[in-house]
Structure 1
């Protein structure tokens, strides 16, 4: 996190998001929250030193008093010794007092930073959503209101946003209610009459294909694998990396696939979105756990999860599955264009999230990604040519090509948060080389006879560009 006010200027430092070219970076070791943690850690360290100095002061006073009886043996030397110990104790006391003052100042600085950050967040939200402020927002030198911002702030219309995301008529997603959020809205949707086909159903493995190849395990390479997997309906990939004793695994999830009716058996159709946002991907996570076991993963093995769009939801939700975490160690999650702000990874899991400011999909859960030490969010600010907005799909900001290009920039960046995040990914997947790849075909259990939503409910859905099967990601 950079500071807008130069050191030594006399003004209070103002933290601003780090920017590297077209990448706006939030979170990680350079993030504001981690700096807050560092301030408090520094204050706690000072407190420890103050306690030690207090003990030294007390001990020095005890020594000084112990010298009193010896003053009569040699008045001059005895007096000098007593005086020297007393002066030393006073010097320790002065240092202790200064450190106490410094610790209090650090805590006051932390409080001021937190207050300023909360105030700025409130003003930004008012500016984005208030009808009197929004159009004039850029005139005050503040960041422009983006499509992603607008969607994240649109919690009052969460059901309508979900309708668009799921390709269903507006008004059929129920009401999240104040504070209920997208999760409640999704659950209300799946319980609605005629939409029970969106309720999670068991996911099973129906086939697999294994081969060996040279694998690019850079962030861009892994995201391009997710794009390739998305061309195979209902498939995921499991990569075995490294040798015996140091092996690790990468699980690759595709984006949303709508190549059939939503009542169908593809686990990555509209029902997959509902399962991910409303039910923590429980059925998909169980299938991934079985796939890893079939690929040869053993208890305690490290896993990196990668997902695009809907796939990023499932990747993050692996960290919520207690059975998965009991078997494997989820070390890293990479997402692109995914609404995962409300999913908290477990302790020890690093994550990197790519979003484009013109992509509304990452904001579909109504929550920005938290700013923490182990969680880095990169917002792409690259301009999009006007004609691209006329194309099919969920908008040009959601295009995988842009995210792959951004992932290459991330890997080359010297920003401390990005450098630490890409190093954490490399610590799991290594530098690449020959990998054993297993592509699993997954299918959701079919609807029981006599049930299901209205035929053709998904008609009129937008189709993503360059997708021969009309898959929407």
Structure 2
């Protein structure tokens, strides 16, 4: 049975946004626009190679035609036919070469037009101009929720500040766009210099205790995020899991979200001051503690590494992806985050990542930057409706609940979407799907401020404890 011809066959190459997968909206990866841009250029380069080969064939055909000339008199009819045949073949090759060259030019023109449209729309949005008249209106399914509104407000902070100084609104928007989006890293560092906020500056983080067990571990995206919730149930802890990697030993670092059960200037490295360290100082102190935890757990140079983080923990996890002190000894393969503002963090080339956000979660937009749309970076926005929790359970909002992200991660793993299958397969290729593993949970403490007494938390046993469960009172 003959294959149906696509309705737009023969037309100009077109880039298309991936369709939503139920309640999942997908950006980046092999279905992302940026990767399609790269594919357009790769296709044009391949066509250039064919054009060069055909040019060589044309030259050779012309040389053969001229070489046959002296022999035409030996047999006029056959000699003439041979010369004509070679000449026509050369002209046919020339026509194919010209057509391929034209197609390559069209592909490059399409790439330029899409790049221009993307840059134009980004500028218009930064200026606050949206709508059909500007050609920059988002698709109906992509209307920004709380997350998009917060990201836009923070990104446009320079313009907002200009307006507060009395500059007319249109001019303030233009000046804000010319200044670019807000530099959240610089803003955080500046804030730590303000009177009364010095406690936000990083202080050394040390390991004060550890405990190790053997347990069955679910290494799916949903299972890993649920472990982040378990780790966060007790303050100041991270988890390092040793797994049998598909190619060589692999380790998973689980980093919890922000913990609000202590003073803002306390010794829990994941208190609100930890957000400042993560956003403003590249997680310098926490990353050092994670490196020491890996060493104590038994990780060796060249081992594979996966970092998983929820909320604040996701910022720390992504900062590992550009930390030379981590990337030099270990092969960081994958980062998984949920509800984390990590758009301003650019990982080193080759580090793959999967980010879960909810359109009604303001936290992922708190750095004023959207995650990059690249081949190795996939962002999944959850759009499922949310129930309003009781006031005492509201926390940072219903969109930020870890249980919702774990459910979304299960949908990601079950999705037939090619981009998501490629991303989850990359994670599984490092850690597998689960089974028996060695789990070490580390207690971390930030150095107390001068004049404060250190708080090491409850006393915990060190070394290996009985297999299959955590000591009483510790979630597993």
TM-score normalised over the length of structure 2: 0.83
In 2: Cα distance, 1:226 partner to 1:243 partner: 20
The equivalent residue for 1:85 is: 86
| Cα offset, 1:191, TM superposition | 1.6
The CA distance in 2 between the partners of 1:389 and 1:91, in whole Å, is 76
Q: Pairwise mapping of residues 50-449 of structure 1 onto structure 2 (< 5 A)?
A: 50-123=51-124, 141=140, 143-154=142-153, 155-157=155-157, 179-242=181-244, 246-386=248-388, 391-449=393-451
CA distance in 2, matches of 1:159, 1:305: 36
Could you tell me how far apart the structure 2 residues matched to 1:191 and 1:232 are? 31
Q: Distance in 2 between matches of 1:225 and 1:159?
A: 41
Distance 1:203 1:197 in 2: 14
Q: Work out whether 1:8 is the aligned partner of 2:8.
A: yes
Q: Contact 2:18/2:31 (CA < 8 Å) preserved in 1?
A: no
Distance 1:62 1:129, change over 3 A: closer
Q: Deviations over 1:190-232 (max 9, x none)?
A: 1222211111111111111000000000000000000000012
Which secondary structure does the structure 2 equivalent of 1:442 belong to?
Answer: strand
- Counterpart CA distance in 2 for 1:129 and 1:115 is 17
1:43 to 2:48 alignment: no
Which SS does the other structure have where 1:443 is aligned? strand
SS at structure 2 position matched to 1:205 = strand
Question: CA shift at 1:110, angstroms?
Answer: 1.8
Structure 2 CA distance for aligned equivalents of residues 11 and 51 of structure 1: 22
Tell me what 2:171 maps to: none
2:33 is matched with which residue? Answer: 32
Structure 1 residue 388: deviation in Å? 5.3
Output the CA distance in 2 between the equivalents of 1:232 and 1:391: 18
Return the alpha-carbon distance in structure 2 between the equivalents of residues 8 and 40 of structure 1. 20
CA contact (8 A) 1:233 1:257 kept: yes
CA distance in 1: counterparts of 2:159 and 2:108, whole angstroms: 42
The answer to whether the 8 Å contact 2:158/2:182 transfers is no
Contact 1:40 1:107 in 2 (8 A): yes
Q: Distance in 2 between matches of 1:352 and 1:216?
A: 17
For the residue of structure 1 that corresponds to 2:374, the secondary structure is coil
1: CA distance, partners of 2:193 / 2:152 = 26
Any conservation in 1 of the 2:14–2:110 contact (CA below 8 Å)? Answer: no
Distance 1:390 1:19, change over 3 A: farther
SS in 2 for 1:331: strand
Shift of residue 259, structure 1, vs aligned partner: 1.8
Equivalent in the alignment of 1:469: none
Query: Is the deviation greater in 74-83 or in 359-368?
Result: 74-83
Change (3 A) 1:117 1:407: same
Measure how far apart 1:447 and its partner are: 1.5
The answer (yes or no) to whether the contact 1:332–1:350 under 8 Å persists in 2 is: yes
> Which residue is 2:462 aligned to?
none
Residues 66-110 of structure 1 show CA distances to partners (whole Å, capped at 9, x for unaligned) of: 222222333333222222211111111011001011111111222
Q: Distance in 1 between matches of 2:80 and 2:246?
A: 73
Give the corresponding residue for 2:173. none
Alpha-carbon shift at residue 379 of structure 1 (Å): 0.6
Alignment CA distance shift 1:190-1:14 (3 Å) = same
The CA RMSD over aligned residues, in Å, is 2.7
* 1:433 partner SS: strand
How far has the Cα of 1:310 moved from its partner?
Answer: 0.2
Q: Distance in 2 between the 1:442 and 1:129 partners?
A: 47
| Alignment partners' CA distance in 2, 1:251 and 1:203 | 16
Shift of 1:431: 1.7
State how far apart, in whole Å, the 1-side matches of 2:111 and 2:391 are: 44
- Contact 1:158 1:366 survives alignment (8 Å): no
Deviations 1:361-395 (A, max 9, x none): 00000001111111110111111234557743110
Decide whether the 8 Å contact of 1:236 with 1:441 is kept in 2: yes
2:247, 2:21 → 1: CA distance? 38
In 2: Cα distance, 1:11 partner to 1:94 partner = 19
Distance 2:452 2:269 in 1: 20
